[in-house]
């Protein structure tokens, strides 16, 4: 049970002081890449990703960084290089009720490209532990570790990895019987994560426009919004407004697991826009079991009023004869 003090358990502030003391301590020491950077792994990666950049495999795609540090399913042949400090930190969090963990984000830097033949070694440090935070998942601490990857004495990459360790919030508490029944407030729909990479898309939605990105170097349209062009790598782009016409390219019907604010079964479509890009979207105006591949759909904006307020989302309405 969280929020209650029991004998022997540190008070929350004491706990934070104890967690904080782990900052700067080593989490992984003396790690060695299982394989040297090599052309076959680069080729497989590029094929899986559809990355045809001609710079590869003379250099490795920078985002392959972890391919060279992870041990694979069998682990590193020399055994784990994780330190006791790292295990002690997570044992402390576990004892404090933070028994769940979720990876939240990662940041990488690539000081120089890796080339076939490079042999990487790596160390990691516990960079920071946040004060207690309340999140939708529950209350807990963000832990950031930073891995430094070297070839010889040269730093070739850093990998910052952040997790949230938390005490799960109680879900679906049993409703208490009420003497005078009241209308039950509908569960709030999840909100989109708006960041600097996709803010323009949501500004478009606010004006009832569906905005795509178009690379101003090679003209390729893209969706979802990303900082760079998947075809030529250019960071330069402009917006292009979609016509709103499309067809169902593929779809699934959600039965399980149930999510608050959603009423299964319902259809989720992969919509191919007339402009050629695809987006995942709700499908309206047709029963879930009447959605068909190739069905024409048209953009509309769904207004959601719930406990968190009002929000609008782009969805696609079936325009075929199955529509109701």
Is residue 78 within the footprint of Zn ion (CB under 5 A)? no
Please name the helix (run of DSSP H) or strand (run of DSSP E) that holds residue 44, with its range, or none: helix 39-49
Q: Which of residues 187-216 bind Zn ion (CB under 5 A)?
A: 215
- In the bound complex, what is the minimum distance in angstroms from residue 213's beta carbon to Zn ion? 10
- Alpha-carbon distance of 144 to 134, in angstroms, equals 17
- In the bound complex, what is the minimum distance in angstroms from residue 227's beta carbon to Zn ion? 12
Is residue 13 within the footprint of Zn ion (CB under 5 A)? no
- Alpha-carbon distance of 280 to 293, in angstroms, equals 14
Task: Give CA separation, 278 vs 220, 272, 318, in Å.
Answer: 13, 4, 16
- In the bound complex, what is the minimum distance in angstroms from residue 141's beta carbon to Zn ion? 41
Q: Which of 15, 28, 143, 229 binds Zn ion (CB under 5 A)?
A: 229
**Contact window for Zn ion (CB under 5 A) among 53-61, 91-99, 121-129, 222-230:** 222-230
Q: Which of 232, 252, 274, 280 binds Zn ion (CB under 5 A)?
A: 232
Q: Which tokens is 234 given?
A: 């250019």
Q: Which of 55, 91, 169, 218 binds Zn ion (CB under 5 A)?
A: 218
* 30: phi then psi, degrees, rounded to nearest 5: 70, 30
Q: Nearer Cβ to Zn ion, position 91 or 232?
A: 232
- Cβ neighbors of 323 (< 8 A, separation 6 or more) are 285, 286, 317
Is residue 279 within the footprint of Zn ion (CB under 5 A)? no
Q: What is the DSSP string of 169-197?
A: PPPSPPPPP-SS--PPPPPPPPPP---TT
DSSP state of 288: G
SS3 (DSSP) at 87:
helix
Q: Which of 231, 245, 278, 290 binds Zn ion (CB under 5 A)?
A: 231
- In the bound complex, what is the minimum distance in angstroms from residue 235's beta carbon to Zn ion? 9
- In the bound complex, what is the minimum distance in angstroms from residue 216's beta carbon to Zn ion? 8
- In the bound complex, what is the minimum distance in angstroms from residue 221's beta carbon to Zn ion? 10
DSSP state of 84: H
Is residue 169 within the footprint of Zn ion (CB under 5 A)? no
Is residue 92 within the footprint of Zn ion (CB under 5 A)? no
CA 3 to chain centre: 29
> Cβ distance 272 to 247 under 8 Å?
yes
Number of residues binding to Zn ion, judged by CB under 5 A: 8
In the complex, the residues that contact Zn ion under the rule CB under 5 A are 215, 217-218, 220, 229, 231-232, 234
């Amino acid at each position: 049970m969280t929020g209650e003090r029991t004998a022997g358990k540190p008070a929350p502030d004491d706990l934070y002081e104890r967690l904080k003391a782990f900052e700067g301590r080593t989490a992984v020491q003396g790690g060695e890449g299982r394989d040297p950077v090599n052309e076959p792994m680069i080729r497989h990666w590029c094929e899986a990703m559809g990355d045809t950049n001609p710079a590869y495999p003379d250099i490795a795609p920078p985002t392959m960084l972890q391919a060279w540090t992870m041990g694979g399913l069998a682990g590193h042949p020399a055994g784990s290089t994780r330190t006791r400090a790292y295990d002690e930190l997570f044992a402390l969090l576990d004892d404090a009720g933070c028994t769940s963990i979720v990876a939240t984000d990662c940041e990488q830097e690539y000081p120089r490209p890796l080339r076939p033949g490079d042999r990487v070694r790596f160390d990691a440090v516990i960079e920071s532990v946040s004060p207690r935070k309340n999140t939708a998942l529950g209350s807990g601490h963000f832990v950031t570790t930073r891995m430094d990857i070297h070839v010889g004495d040269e730093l070739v990459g850093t990998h910052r990895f952040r997790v949230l360790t938390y005490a799960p919030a109680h879900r679906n508490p049993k409703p208490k019987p009420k003497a005078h029944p009241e209308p039950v407030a509908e569960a709030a729909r999840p909100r989109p994560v708006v960041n600097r990479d996709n803010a323009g898309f949501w500004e478009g939605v606010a004006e009832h426009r569906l905005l795509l990105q178009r690379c101003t170097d090679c003209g390729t349209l893209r969706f979802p919004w990303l900082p760079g062009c998947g075809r030529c790598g250019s960071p330069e782009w402009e917006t292009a407004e979609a016509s709103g016409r499309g067809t169902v390219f593929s779809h699934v019907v959600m039965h399980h697991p149930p999510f608050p604010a959603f009423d299964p079964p319902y259809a989720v479509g992969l919509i191919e826009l007339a402009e050629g890009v695809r987006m995942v979207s709700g499908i309206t105006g047709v029963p879930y079991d009447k959605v068909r591949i190739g069905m024409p759909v048209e953009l509309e904006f769904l207004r959601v009023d719930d406990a968190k307020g009002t929000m609008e989302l782009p969805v696609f309405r079936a325009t075929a004869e199955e529509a109701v």
